[in-house]
Amino acid sequence: MQEAITVVQDRRIILGVTGSIAAYKAADLASKLTQVGAQVDVIMTDAAQRFITPLAFQAVTGRPVYTSMWQPDAGGGLPTHIAHVGLGEGADLLVIAPATANTLAKLAHGLADDLLSVTALAARCPVVVAPAMDGGMYTHPATQANLDVLRARGVVVIEPDEGRFASGLVGKGRLPETQALLGQIRRVLGREGSLASCRVVVTAGGTRESIDPVRQVTNRSSGKQGYALAQAALDAGADVTLISAASGLPVPVGAELIPVTTAEEMQHAVLAHVERADVLIMAAAVADFRPATVAAQKIKKSGDNEAGLTIALERTPDILEAVKVARADHGWPRVVIGFAAESRDLLENAQAKLARKGLDLIAANDISATDAGFEVDTNRIVLLDADGGVTELGLTSKAAVGEAVVRRAASLLRAQRD
């Protein structure tokens, strides 16, 4: 069972499933949406039921499934002949996945000859479609023209993946994986959130500094907290740039990823992106020291190094110091949030950093605990603000820390505007 996702929790989602072989993937989507807290009502077209049964969706959503305009009562308390009104009225989102060429054509032209197309006309909530079709049907000008009509009307179209179809043909038209669909759905549900139309820059991961072409100096940061912050900012409706020294983590859907390796590269990326950013969240564990010289060739253990090797280290630039200077100059970013990983005197050290680096908020992290900090999915954070406020978040998921920090960022921004 997955942890609830705040932006999805208790939202009413209508999932329209149409007749594509990818209909089986919609069962996984319905299951994930339900697990993360949504109330999912599924409407299936006749063609969809040739690929997968209503029972599959009923089993994963725990709710009746709607299949016909004429059935007297689908079991959800709504006679189906008026279900299109009842379902559409209270819905937060209509997602059609997979959406066939036929259903897209009907939506584009306002045809209303089955429960799904009638509901789409009656509903006033945002609409997301995920086209999926075999052969050249997706790229056909007729389908593309219908998608243009839908986009112009505000419908969010999720681009299909390229790959091999059931027919053996290769091309564009595969339904994206559930996580990608879920990411797009979060984006739409969050677009009126507390950071709507704000630009947020998040740094994540531990920077790596080369000793020679093979070896590096780095630290234990996984980047998980930074990625969770980026996701929380996306869920709050922000445009997010994620400057990341981490690798192997799934990039939150909608974030612009800027991969970097060293502290210096991160500094360049941050300074290039914070101009006109509303919020900077420096969650990266930036190396404080790097080898003073980088050996051009792999350092050998023979010869001079037989008895051991001493590597001279020099300081890396302090990125937040540079941001402080830039901010004093042009006023951007409006809000700056740092992290402090400490193994002792947590609050004193964090308080000093908050003042020295000119931050609005610092998230202090006690890394001596094994259930918090590096690599694990939980964190134990205390938030200190520039007015002396102290908020203990206790042991909680990195996702929840992300949400708490994003809420504070939004209220700091609001306070500046008022």
The contact set with ligand C5P (CB under 6 A) reads 263, 282, 284, 286, 288, 316, 318-320, 338-340, 353
Q: How far is the CB of 266 from ligand C5P (least distance, A)?
A: 8
Q: How far is the CB of 170 from ligand C5P (least distance, A)?
A: 44
Q: Which is nearer to ligand C5P, 150 or 202 (CB)?
A: 202
- Please give the Cα distance from 292 to 245 (Å, whole number): 20
Q: Which is nearer to ligand C5P, 249 or 322 (CB)?
A: 322
Q: How far is the CB of 22 from ligand C5P (least distance, A)?
A: 42
124, with CB counted inside 10 A (0-12, 13-18, 19+), is: exposed
Q: Which is nearer to ligand C5P, 109 or 356 (CB)?
A: 356
Asked if residue 220 lies in contact with residue 198, where contact means CB atoms within 8 angstroms, the answer is no
Q: Which is nearer to ligand C5P, 119 or 203 (CB)?
A: 203
Q: Which is nearer to ligand C5P, 119 or 365 (CB)?
A: 365
Q: How far is the CB of 246 from ligand C5P (least distance, A)?
A: 13
Q: How far is the CB of 196 from ligand C5P (least distance, A)?
A: 25
Q: How far is the CB of 6 from ligand C5P (least distance, A)?
A: 24
Cα diameter, the chain: 88
Q: How far is the CB of 275 from ligand C5P (least distance, A)?
A: 17
HEC readout, the chain: CCCCCCCCCCCEEEEEECCCCCHHHHHHHHHHHHHCCCEEEEEECCCHHHHCCHHHHHHHHCCCEECCCCCCCCCCCCCHHHHHHHHHHHCCEEEEEEECHHHHHHHHHCCCCCHHHHHHHHCCCCEEEEECCCCCCCCCHHHHHHHHHHHHCCCEECCCEEEECCCCCEEEEECCCHHHHHHHHHHHHCCCCCCCCCEEEEEECECCEECCCCCEECCCCCCHHHHHHHHHHHHCCCEEEEEECCCCCCCCCCCEEEECCCHHHHHHHHHHHHCCCCEEEECCECCCEEECCCCCCCCCCCHHHCCCCCCCEEECCCHHHHHHHHHHHHCCCCEEEEEEEECCCHHHHHHHHHHHCCCCEEEEEECCCCCCCCCCCEEEEEEEECCCCEEEEEEEEHHHHHHHHHHHHHHHHHHHHC
Q: Determine which one of 219, 305, 365, 379 is catalytic.
A: 219
Q: Which is nearer to ligand C5P, 3 or 288 (CB)?
A: 288
Q: Which is nearer to ligand C5P, 36 or 283 (CB)?
A: 283
Identify whether 102 is a catalytic site residue: no
The residues annotated as belonging to the active site are 219
